[in-house]
């Protein structure tokens, strides 16, 4: 026990210990870090465990002026003639007691470093059911005379993909926070876990990911060559070893299907960052398709075109209802061009006929938005030719199977088209899990579908119009998705910008590197100040994680991506 002894508990008149907090002194040169776990002797031969939150250094000097005067009135070259008595004192939060004794820790109680097994127990990581690795901890790094402790961190998968809890929110500034990399690491761990399952277990999972930046997620079934590292061979060897230590396979994602927006070669309507050769090659290999939207099947999603349009008077909604119900000539239309012409006729003076409740000005606004959306892109087509590797997103999502990964490329589309495709996919998956397609042949969805989207602020920020159909869909998933089996993994730069009902329904939160302005927002008021400050200094591959089964926030690390990277 004495080997790990590092200090004693302090309890003074002005700074007493409480059932929640305590302070201890320690050697001024002993290196400790926030999030390190300490073990403290307590009454009835029990031990309490605490997590370090802050470290301070004091001396016997009464004021700053005392030190200034003792240095020959500010001579920076002179060595201090009077030895100042100093010490470090550490503030820690009680996270548990092995005998459930929670009276305040006693003055002068022994404070020790914890072993790996004790850290697991203290943080609630021991004997976790349905373990899913979410990273690893490193403690006592740089602590002289003590060996650094490295241990994997598992959470209960039922608290991230359901049914006990669901949804993950990842926040952090662009680039350094590695939001996509961490989400992909977790989904890789989930797929590995479910691929190991055998028998007739009804619990199964599939993934739908949206590629929103360049070619980021367009080769996740191919191994990483680490060519952007200084020493590719060493980086590869180290990364594969980390995956093995965490109990994960060293192969990239399996059962991957890609969907690219229909494109016209050598025109401005080339809708993906892949080359024509790359796209055609993947289609020939039967692992990719081009998606289109056809009027007769997709007209019911017209409302998604207006996701960022404030329609407080619901005039756009009235027009969409009018069209959906087939009123006027809209019951005889078969393609997008005929549809645009019919809408244009509604914009002409005196064209309303008996339809007086929708003013011409509203039809004209509707036409401006819908005309720009449809004519500006070739994903809106007359028909789908399956023999040419074409499909609809609605059809592709309807037939999703367990352990499959579906990647939908929207990176090169304009924001309104991105919103349309995202909304269409979410709506289809939601209806699928509600059982809307249960009578259709070949429909056999997994019990859980994980949907990953970066830049969530485009669809569920506090500034999105309240009547936005996509916002309503995202809120439905956040609030009811856990019971239906639709799980949202979402990432954004600033958590404070996201709708409270979305973040409030997430059971797991990952905080990456951010700025001091962001951590001053009310969304972070439950986070201790020292951890907020740490969020502004986190390195790449490092996150602060919050999950119901953890007794404290955890500062975890995760390995580099194992799938192909594009720079």
Q: What is the pLDDT along the chain (567 residues), one digit of tens a residue?
A: 346 888 999 999 989 999 999 999 998 888 888 889 999 999 999 999 999 988 998 888 888 887 777 777 777 777 766 677 888 999 999 999 999 999 999 999 999 999 889 999 998 888 888 889 999 998 887 777 788 888 899 998 888 998 888 899 999 887 665 889 999 999 999 999 888 876 656 788 999 999 999 899 999 999 998 888 888 899 999 999 999 999 999 999 999 999 999 988 877 778 899 998 999 999 999 999 999 999 888 888 888 888 777 766 777 888 888 888 888 788 888 888 888 888 888 888 666 555 567 888 888 888 888 888 788 778 888 888 888 888 999 999 999 999 999 999 999 988 888 888 999 999 999 999 998 888 888 888 999 999 999 989 888 888 888 888 888 889 999 999 888 999 999 999 999 999 999 998 999 999 999 988 998 898 888 888 888 888 998 888 889 999 888 888 889 999 999 999 887
Query: Of 98, 122, 146, which one is at a domain's C-terminal end?
Result: 122
Do 388 and 510 share a domain, yes or no?
yes
Note whether residue 137 is domain-resident. Answer: no
Note whether residue 326 is domain-resident. Answer: yes
Q: pTM of the full predicted structure?
A: 0.88
Q: Please give the structure tokens belonging to residue 310.
A: 């404030």
Task: Say if residues 498 and 454 touch (Cβ distance below 8 Å).
Answer: no
CATH value at residue 45: 2.40.30
Do 368 and 389 share a domain, yes or no?
no
The number of helices, as runs of H, and strands, as runs of E, in the chain is: 16, 20
Q: Which residues pair with 510 in a beta bridge?
A: 170, 545
Note whether residue 148 is domain-resident. Answer: no
Place of tokens 């190991």: 196
Do 390 and 468 share a domain, yes or no?
yes
Query: Of 122, 141, 176, which one is at a domain's C-terminal end?
Result: 122
Do 280 and 393 share a domain, yes or no?
yes
pLDDT at position 1:
39
pLDDT at position 91:
94
Task: Say if residues 262 and 389 touch (Cβ distance below 8 Å).
Answer: no
Structural domain span for residue 320: 296-375
pLDDT at position 307:
78
Note whether residue 317 is domain-resident. Answer: yes
Q: What is the CA radius of gyration of the chain?
A: 29
Note whether residue 323 is domain-resident. Answer: yes
Q: Please give the structure tokens belonging to residue 1.
A: 């026990």
Do 545 and 417 share a domain, yes or no?
yes
Do 455 and 523 share a domain, yes or no?
yes
CATH value at residue 484: 3.40.50.300
Rounded to the nearest 10 degrees, what angle do helices 415-434 and 360-375 cross at?
90
Find, among 559, 557, 553, the residue nearest to 35 by Cα.
553
Question: DSSP letters of 367-381?
Answer: HHHHHHHHHT-TTEE
In angstroms, the CA 104 to CA 63 distance is 31
Query: Of 375, 404, 435, which one is at a domain's C-terminal end?
Result: 375
Cα-to-chain-centroid distance, residue 1: 41
Note whether residue 150 is domain-resident. Answer: no
User: How many distinct structural domains can be found in the chain?
Assistant: 3
Do 283 and 400 share a domain, yes or no?
yes
pLDDT at position 2:
47
Q: Would you call 463 exposed, middle or buried from its count of C-beta atoms within 10 A (0-12, 13-18, 19+)?
A: exposed
pLDDT at position 366:
86
Q: Which residues pair with 37 in a beta bridge?
A: 51
Query: Quick one: which H or E segment has residue 338?
Result: helix 336-346
- Provide the 8-state DSSP code for 170: E
Do 381 and 352 share a domain, yes or no?
no
Place of tokens 């720079």: 567
Do 166 and 277 share a domain, yes or no?
yes
Do 309 and 398 share a domain, yes or no?
no
Do 542 and 408 share a domain, yes or no?
yes
Q: How many residues does the chain have?
A: 567
Note whether residue 327 is domain-resident. Answer: yes
Note whether residue 128 is domain-resident. Answer: no
pLDDT at position 201:
65
pLDDT at position 364:
87
Do 541 and 435 share a domain, yes or no?
yes
């Amino acid at each position: 026990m004495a080997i790990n002894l590092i200090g004693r508990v302090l309890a003074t008149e002005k700074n007493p210990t409480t059932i929640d907090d305590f302070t201890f002194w320690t050697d001024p040169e002993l290196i400790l870090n926030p999030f390190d776990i300490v073990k403290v002797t307590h009454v009835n031969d029990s031990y309490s465990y605490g997590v370090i939150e802050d470290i301070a250094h004091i001396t016997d000097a009464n004021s700053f002026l005392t030190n200034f005067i003792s240095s020959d009135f500010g001579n920076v070259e002179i060595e201090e003639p009077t030895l100042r008595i100093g010490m470090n004192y550490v503030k820690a939060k009680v996270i548990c007691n092995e005998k459930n004794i929670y009276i305040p820790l006693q003055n002068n109680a022994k404070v020790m470093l914890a072993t790996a097994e004790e850290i697991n127990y203290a943080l609630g990581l021991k004997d976790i059911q349905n373990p899913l690795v979410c990273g690893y901890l490193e403690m006592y790094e740089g602590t002289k005379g003590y060996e650094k402790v490295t241990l994997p961190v598992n959470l209960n998968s039922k608290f991230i993909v359901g049914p006990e809890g669901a949804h993950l929110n990842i926040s952090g500034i662009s680039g350094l926070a590695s939001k996509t990399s961490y989400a992909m690491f977790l989904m890789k761990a989930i797929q590995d876990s479910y691929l190991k399952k055998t028998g007739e277990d009804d619990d199964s999972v599939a993934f739908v990911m949206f590629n929103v930046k360049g070619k980021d997620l367009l080769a996740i079934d191919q191994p990483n060559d680490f060519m952007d590292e200084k020493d590719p061979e060493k980086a590869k060897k180290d990364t594969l070893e980390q995956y093995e230590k965490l109990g994960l396979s060293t192969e990239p994602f399996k059962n991957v299907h890609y969907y690219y927006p229909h494109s016209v070669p050598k025109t401005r309507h080339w809708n993906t960052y892949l080359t024509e050769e790359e796209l055609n090659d993947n289609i020939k290999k039967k692992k990719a398709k081009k998606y289109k939207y056809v009027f007769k099947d997709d007209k019911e999603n017209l409302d998604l075109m207006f996701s960022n349009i404030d329609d407080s008077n619901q005039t756009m909604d009235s027009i969409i209802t009018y069209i959906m119900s087939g009123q006027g000539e809209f019951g005889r239309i078969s393609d997008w061009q005929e549809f645009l012409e019919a809408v244009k006729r509604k914009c002409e003076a005196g064209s309303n006929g008996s339809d007086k409740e929708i003013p011409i000005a509203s039809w004209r606004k509707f036409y401006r938005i819908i005309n720009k959306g449809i004519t500006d892109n070739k994903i809106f087509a007359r028909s789908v030719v399956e023999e040419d590797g074409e499909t609809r997103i609605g059809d592709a999502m309807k037939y999703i199977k367990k352990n499959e990964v579906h990647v939908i490329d929207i990176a090169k589309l304009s924001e309104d088209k991105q919103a349309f495709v995202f909304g269409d996919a979410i709506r289809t998956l939601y209806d699928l899990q509600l059982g809307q397609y249960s009578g259709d042949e070949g429909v056999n969805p997994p019990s859980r579908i994980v949907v990953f989207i970066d830049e969530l602020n485009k669809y569920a920020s506090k500034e999105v119009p309240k009547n936005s159909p996509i916002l309503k869909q995202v809120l439905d998933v956040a609030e009811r998705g856990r019971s239906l089996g639709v799980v949202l993994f979402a990432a954004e730069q600033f958590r404070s910008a996201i709708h409270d009902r979305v973040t409030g329904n997430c059971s797991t939160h990952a905080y990456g590197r951010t700025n001091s302005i962001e951590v001053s927002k009310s969304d972070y008021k439950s986070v201790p100040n020292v951890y907020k400050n740490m969020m502004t200094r986190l390195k790449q591959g490092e996150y602060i994680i919050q999950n119901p089964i953890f007794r404290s926030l955890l500062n975890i690390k995760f390995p580099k991506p194992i799938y192909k990277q594009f720079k």
